[in-house]
Structure 1
Amino acid sequence: MPTAKSKARILVVDDEAAQMRALCDTLPVEDYDAVGFTDARSALAELQRTKCDLLLADLMMPGMDGIELLRAAREIDPHLVGIIMTGDGTIATAVEAMKAGALDYILKPFKLSVVIPVLERALAVRRLHLENAELALRVRERTLELEAANRELEAFAYSVAHDLRGPLSVIVGYAETLIEDHSAQWPDQPQQLAGAILASGEHMQRLIDGLLRLSRFGRQPLSKGPVDVGALVGEVVDELRRQHAGREVFVHLGEIPGCVGDQALLRQVLVNLLSNAFKFTRAREKPLVTVIGWTEGRETVYCVRDNGAGFDMQQADKLFAAFQRFHDSDEYEGTGIGLSIASRIVQRHGGRIWASAEVGKGAAFYFSIPD
Structure 2
Amino acid sequence: MAAPPTARILIVDDEAPQMKALCETLRDHDYETVGFTTGQAALVALRETKFDLLLTDLMMPGMDGIALLRAARETDPHLVGILMTGAGSIATAVEAMKAGALDYILKPFELRVILPVLSRALAMRRLRLENAELEKRVRERTAELEVANKELEAFSYSVSHDLRAPLRAIDGFSSILDRDFRHGMPDEAGRLLDRVTTSARRMGQLIDDLLRFSRLGRQALARRPVNTSNLVQAVLQDLRKLQGDRNIEVDVGDLPECVGDPSLLQQVFYNLLANAFKYTSRKKEAKVNVGHRMENGEGVFFIQDNGAGFDMQYVDKLFGVFQRLHRDEQFEGTGVGLSIVQRIVHRHGGRVWAEGELDCGATFSFTLPPPDLPASP
Smaller-chain TM-score range? 0.7 to 0.9
Give the corresponding residue for 2:138. Answer: 139
Over 3 Å counting, the alpha-carbon distance change for 1:65 and 1:240 in structure 2 is farther
Question: How far apart in 1 are the matches of 2:138 and 2:30?
Answer: 34
Over 3 Å counting, the alpha-carbon distance change for 1:228 and 1:97 in structure 2 is farther
Name the aligned partner's letter for residue 235 of structure 1.
A
Give the corresponding residue for 1:251. Answer: 251
Give the corresponding residue for 1:358. Answer: 356
How far off is 1:306 after superposition?
A: 1.4
SS in 2 for 1:269: helix
Q: Percent identity?
A: 52
Over 3 Å counting, the alpha-carbon distance change for 1:83 and 1:247 in structure 2 is farther
Residue by residue, what CA displacement relative to the aligned partner does 1:183-223 show, whole Å, maximum 9, x if unpaired? 55555543443332222222112212223433555555655
Over 3 Å counting, the alpha-carbon distance change for 1:90 and 1:249 in structure 2 is farther
SS in 1 for 2:248: coil
Over 3 Å counting, the alpha-carbon distance change for 1:220 and 1:103 in structure 2 is closer
Over 3 Å counting, the alpha-carbon distance change for 1:158 and 1:89 in structure 2 is same
Contact 2:83-2:101 at 8 Å conserved across structures: yes
Over 3 Å counting, the alpha-carbon distance change for 1:220 and 1:138 in structure 2 is closer
How far off is 1:362 after superposition?
A: 1.9
How far off is 1:145 after superposition?
A: 0.8
Residue by residue, what CA displacement relative to the aligned partner does 1:113-144 show, whole Å, maximum 9, x if unpaired? 76456534543442243133213321331232
Residue by residue, what CA displacement relative to the aligned partner does 1:292-340 show, whole Å, maximum 9, x if unpaired? 389x99xx97623314555566655554443222332222222122233
Q: Residues 255-294 of structure 1 correspond to what in structure 2 (within 5 A)?
A: 255-259=255-259, 261=261, 263-282=262-281, 285=285, 287-292=287-292
Give the corresponding residue for 1:34. Answer: 33
Q: TM-score under structure 2 normalisation?
A: 0.72
Contact 1:154-1:218 at 8 Å conserved across structures: no
Match among 305, 309, 328 for residue 303 of structure 2? 305
Give the corresponding residue for 1:21. Answer: 20
- Greater mean alpha carbon deviation, residues 149-158 or residues 37-46: 37-46
SS in 2 for 1:144: helix
Question: How far apart in 2 are the matches of 1:108 and 1:314?
Answer: 73
- Greater mean alpha carbon deviation, residues 15-24 or residues 80-89: 80-89
Give the corresponding residue for 2:147. Answer: 148
Question: How far apart in 2 are the matches of 1:47 and 1:62?
Answer: 18
Question: How far apart in 2 are the matches of 1:95 and 1:332?
Answer: 73
Question: How far apart in 2 are the matches of 1:78 and 1:22?
Answer: 28
Q: Which segments of 5 or more consecutive residues in structure 2 lack a partner in the other structure?
A: none
Name the aligned partner's letter for residue 303 of structure 1.
F
Q: Residues 194-205 of structure 1 correspond to what in structure 2 (within 5 A)?
A: 194-205=193-204
Q: Which segments of 5 or more consecutive residues in structure 1 lack a partner in the other structure?
A: none
SS in 2 for 1:322: coil
Q: Residues 74-85 of structure 1 correspond to what in structure 2 (within 5 A)?
A: 77=76, 79-83=78-82
